[in-house]
């Protein structure tokens, strides 16, 4: 058949790498021995799922110790040990009430002594002793108020210590932050882990990010939202995605524009890290030459088609572009209307051929 020319949307053909949308290394915030881990390489996990646990004995005992200390601090303020409300009026505590009563008694005694002194019934030393006793009682009253405030501060500290102990106990369980798959397991059951030691590495595989380096000469035609057709090595299926992000600048090192496309991967057939060949479809139309995919022969990385001239086979080296179902685009090396052998087999340049056009073959 003859190579056919058609006006199709311009496609920018580039190669890139599929990457995970998110990659997370999970670790535990507290140190202890790993008592259980329920996932391994390739395990799918769901957001909120528990995948690992530490031995909780030490942290449970610390929480109980903090609860006891809190109850003791509440009792010193006259509160019920198991209550939740820590608010208290300092003037109503027994310590302050006792100091206040002594202060009032000392004040009354000083006032009586002052009246007796005015009548010259008592000596100056007795009046001075009453005044001194009043000052001492006043100081004790202030000390009682300060002691209550100190006990209130200790109570607040004990409450915080209990919350920290509860949080540490909760941190012995490792939860999954997103729907993903396990890329690597770093720890084993029974292993002692320091705080922050990696336990598992997770990757989010739906959608995937396709990172592409578009040549500078083609960069002006790239827009967010453009369709991207993707093929990967060893997989005959074609996948579709959309341009999602563009770099604001051209890389000075290789004169390319970094483009990221989102490729849906709900069934998990695509793997992060795979090499991919992508076609970014722009709105502009351009003439393109198409031949049957079966007519292109690849040997040692060289692509060629077999044409016919004077009833003899002629090899033509070509460069291919996008694939369209059972057809393939010829970027260079072949002109529109030139004949190509649909299934060249082992033909080489110079082999005699008998031309049978595709339309005549179908008629027979």
Is 50 exceeded by the pLDDT of residue 364? no
216, 270, 200, 214: which is closest to 241 by C-alpha?
A: 270
Would the pLDDT of 200 be above 50? yes
- Partners of residue 7 on adjacent β-strands: 287
Specify the pLDDT at position 359.
62
If asked whether residues 8 and 101 sit together in one domain, one would say no
Rounded to 5°, the CA angle 320-326-330 comes to 20
3-state secondary structure of 94: helix
Q: Are residues 154 and 260 in the same domain?
A: no
Q: What pLDDT is attached to residue 235?
A: 81
DSSP conformation letters of 61-84: HHHHHHHHHHHHHHHHTT--TT-S
Averaged pLDDT for residues 105-109: 93
Does a structural domain hold residue 92?
Answer: yes
CA distance 106 to 84: 38
Q: Which of 152, 171, 190 is the last residue of a domain?
A: 171
Residue 284 has pLDDT above 70, yes or no: no
Q: Is residue 51 assigned to a domain?
A: no
Residue 283: per-residue pLDDT: 66
* 267-281 per-position pLDDT tens digit: 888 888 889 988 888
Structurally, how many domains does the chain consist of?
A: 2
Identify whether residues 338 and 237 lie together within a single domain.
yes
Confidence band (pLDDT; 50, 70, 90) for 361?
very low
pLDDT at 362 over 60: no
Q: Are residues 167 and 207 in the same domain?
A: no
pLDDT at position 185 over 50:
yes
Which pLDDT does position 221 carry in this prediction?
Answer: 82
Residue 277 belongs to a domain: yes
Measured between alpha carbons, how far is 235 from 233 in angstroms, rounded to an integer? Answer: 6
Residue 80 lies in a domain: yes
In a domain, 194, yes or no: no
* Residue 218 shares a structural domain with residue 309: yes
User: Which tokens in the block code for residue 188?
Assistant: 């084993």
Q: Is residue 276 part of a domain?
A: yes
3-state secondary structure 254-288: CCEEEEEEEECCCCCCCCCCCEEEEEEEEEEEEEE
Q: How many CB atoms lie within 10 A of CB 26?
A: 19
Higher-pLDDT residue of 220, 196: 196
**Segment 246-270 mean pLDDT:** 90
- What is the pLDDT at residue 360? 47
Let me know whether 356 and 211 are in one domain: yes
- Do 262 and 347 reside in the same domain of the chain? yes
| Span 200-227, average pLDDT | 89
Please check whether residues 14 and 61 belong to one and the same domain: no
Mean pLDDT to the nearest integer, 196-203: 94
Q: Which residues constitute the domain of residue 138?
A: 56-171
pLDDT at 48 over 50: yes
Domain with residue 235: its CATH number is 2.40.30.170
208 plus 354 within the same structural domain: yes
Q: What pLDDT is recorded for position 108?
A: 94
DSSP lists the bridge partners of residue 52 as: 37, 174
Does residue 215 lie in a domain region? yes
pLDDT tens sequence across 128-179 = 999 999 999 999 999 999 999 999 999 999 999 999 999 999 999 999 999 9
> How much is the average pLDDT of 249-278?
89
Residues 23-40: tens digit of each pLDDT = 999 999 999 999 999 999
Residues 16 and 149 grouped into a single domain: no
- Binned at pLDDT 50, 70 and 90, residue 7 comes out as confident
**How much is the average pLDDT of 310-321?**
88
- In angstroms, rounded to a whole number, what is the distance separating the alpha carbons of residues 138 and 146? 13
237 and 356 share one domain: yes
Query: Model's pTM, two decimal places?
Result: 0.64
The reported pLDDT for the residue numbered 218 is: 82
Residue 337 lies in a domain: yes
359 and 211 share a domain?
yes
Tell me: pLDDT of 47 over 90. Answer: yes
């Amino acid at each position: 058949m003859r190579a056919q020319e058609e006006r199709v949307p311009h496609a920018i053909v580039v190669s890139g790498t599929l990457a995970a949308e998110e990659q997370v290394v999970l670790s535990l915030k507290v140190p202890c021995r790993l008592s259980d881990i329920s996932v391994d390489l390739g395990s799918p996990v769901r957001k909120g799922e528990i995948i690992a646990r530490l031995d909780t004995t030490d942290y449970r005992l610390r929480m109980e110790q903090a609860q006891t200390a809190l109850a003791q601090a509440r009792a010193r303020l006259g509160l019920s040990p198991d209550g939740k409300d820590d608010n208290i009026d300092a003037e109503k505590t027994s310590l302050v009430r006792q100091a206040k009563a002594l202060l009032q008694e000392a004040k009354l005694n000083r006032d009586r002594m002052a009246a007796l002194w005015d009548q010259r019934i008592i000596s100056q030393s007795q009046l001075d002793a009453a005044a001194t006793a009043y000052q001492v009682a006043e100081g004790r009253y202030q000390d009682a108020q300060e002691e209550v405030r100190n006990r209130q501060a200790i109570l607040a500290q004990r409450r915080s210590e209990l919350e920290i102990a509860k949080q540490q106990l909760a941190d012995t369980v490792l939860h999954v932050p997103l729907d993903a798959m396990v890329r690597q397991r770093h720890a084993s059951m029974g292993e002692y882990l320091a705080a922050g030691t990696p336990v598992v590495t997770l990757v989010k595989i739906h959608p995937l990010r396709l990172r592409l380096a578009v040549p500078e000469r083609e960069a002006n035609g790239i827009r967010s939202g453009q369709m991207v057709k993707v093929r990967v090595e060893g997989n005959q299926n074609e996948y579709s995605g959309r341009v999602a992000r563009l770099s604001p600048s051209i890389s000075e090192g290789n004169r390319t524009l970094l483009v990221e496309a989102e490729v849906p991967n709900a069934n998990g057939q695509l793997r992060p890290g795979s090499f991919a060949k992508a076609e970014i479809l722009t709105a502009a139309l351009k003439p393109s030459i198409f031949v049957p995919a079966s007519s292109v022969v690849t040997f040692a990385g060289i692509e060629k088609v077999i044409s016919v001239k004077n009833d003899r086979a002629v090899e033509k080296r070509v460069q291919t572009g996008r694939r369209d179902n059972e057809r393939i685009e010829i970027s260079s090396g072949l002109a529109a209307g030139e004949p190509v052998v649909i299934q060249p087999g082992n033909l080489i340049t110079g082999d005699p051929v008998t031309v049978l056009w595709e339309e005549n073959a179908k008629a027979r």
